[in-house]
């Protein structure tokens, strides 16, 4: 049952990444690109977690990957809200 839920979560992250990638292609806004990268990283992380024989979520490497994904979201938000020099 855990693998099924992990796969569904990975599919949701991958779908979100594809949606943000589509928005990035139409607007060329870095915000959407960083969000797509973040959700793509999360999707790959969940796939590897689901394929692992013994899913140990308490391993630091899993949290470091998640930290990278969340930091990308933070960078996207801060970058979008900074004033632009023209």
Q: Which residue has the tokens 């938000």?
A: 77
Q: What is the pLDDT of residue 63?
A: 86
Cβ-proximal residues to 55 (8 Å cutoff; 6+ apart), any chain: 2, 6, 49
pLDDT in tens, 17-72: 999 999 999 999 999 999 999 999 999 999 988 887 666 666 787 889 999 999 99
């Amino acid at each position: 049952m855990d693998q099924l839920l992990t796969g569904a979560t990975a599919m949701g992250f991958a779908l979100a990444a594809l949606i943000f990638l589509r928005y990035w292609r139409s607007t060329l806004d870095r915000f959407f690109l960083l969000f797509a990268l973040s959700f793509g990283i999360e999707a790959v992380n969940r796939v590897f977690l689901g394929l692992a024989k013994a899913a140990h979520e308490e391993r630091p490497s899993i949290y470091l990957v998640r930290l990278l994904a969340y930091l990308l979201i933070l960078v996207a938000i801060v970058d979008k809200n900074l004033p632009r020099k023209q």
